Structure formats: structure tokens, C-alpha cells
Chain A
Amino acid sequence: NAGVTQTPKFQVLKTGQSMTLQCAQDMNHEYMSWYRQDPGMGLRLIHYSVGAGITDQGEVPNGYNVSRSTTEDFPLRLLSAAPSQTSVYFCASNGQGKGEQYFGPGTRLTVT
């Protein structure tokens, strides 16, 4: 089991560029989530999914888009990068009723 994998580990973008952060899990988990981590603010939920084809917004969804076409994959798209999106991004997954979320290694994104 690879668990939760994320690519890339590091990325630098210019303002206005778009990109996709990849997330995959091999544990057949129904629930997947994207968080961003900023200094002094803990992790905040961007978008989440309760199963293939079902997504919803979290606390800070603006500027991000998600889709869930398969159980395994949950990509996060930045539509037009802004310096305010400089952050560390984590993908996580958990099985129904299991509670514990498994986290990927994170992506450090810098927008200049």
C-alpha cells in the first residue's frame, strides 16, 4: 500500500498561471479532502468528496476546483494562481465511519 500520494512535492508558479495538484489513494477510501496549511492558522479545508462523482466546498474554496471521477483520484486545480495561494497543500482520505484521516506528504506551492 502506497497510502496517499501527492505530486508534485514543490511547485513555483507565476501569477495567473494554472496547474493541477494530483492526489491518489490506494485504500479504497470513500472520503477525500484537500487542506491548505498557512502559518498560525492550522489546516483549513478547501474541498472534499464523499465518493466518486460527489464533491463539495469546504472553508476556503475560492480559486480552486476539484473533481472526483474515480475512487482513487482527487485532483485540485488552481484556475488562475494568486500570491495568496502560496501555501502547503495536503490531501487526505478516510474510510466511512473510520474517523482517522490519512495524509499525503504535502505540496509546497509558491506563487510569485
Chain B
Amino acid sequence: GIQVEQSPPDLILQEGANSTLRCNFSDSVNNLQWFHQNPWGQLINLFYIPSGTKQNGRLSATTVATERYSLLYISSSQTTDSGVYFCAVSAGGFKTIFGAGTRLFVKA
């Protein structure tokens, strides 16, 4: 099946810093999503982005499907950005596979 690799596995930032999270996938995908799991366990959908670039406030994402990777950019990080960021892909239909996540801690 399709493999999803996220990097880095852990990231510590000072509040106000910028960061880039990466998601590599092993096969062509028709569906790619980014999620944030907050410290209380809630999973929030950030982007549905099988290709191209999207922006939402301080967050933006870019997927280059032909090169099988996606990037999530966080600018001017805040302590509320802490948590785990997951990339999730499906190669066909709706069977969506999650990566292991990037654990982010933003220090005040």
C-alpha cells in the first residue's frame, strides 16, 4: 500500500518563528489532507489539497503531486499551534492513510 512519511518527527519553535513541515508519499494520490491534533486530542482539518497551493491565515500548504510531496507552512507561530500535524492521503477512492505526524511545541 501507499507509504506516507512526515518530517521532522518533532519540532520545537520559539513563538513568532516560521516553520515548514513535509509530507512525502510513495504513489500517486487523488486526495491529500493536513490535520492538526490539538493537545486535547481533537483532530481539525486544515486543508484538502491534492495539488496546488492554499492559504488560510498564518497557514499555507503546497502539494506537488508529480513529485509526491506536500508542504505545510506555519508563519509567526503561536503557542496554540502546538500539537501534532498529520498528513493523510488516499491513492484511490476514500481509503485515507495517515502519516505518523510531526509533533510541534511552540514555546512562549
The answer on A and B forming one complex is no
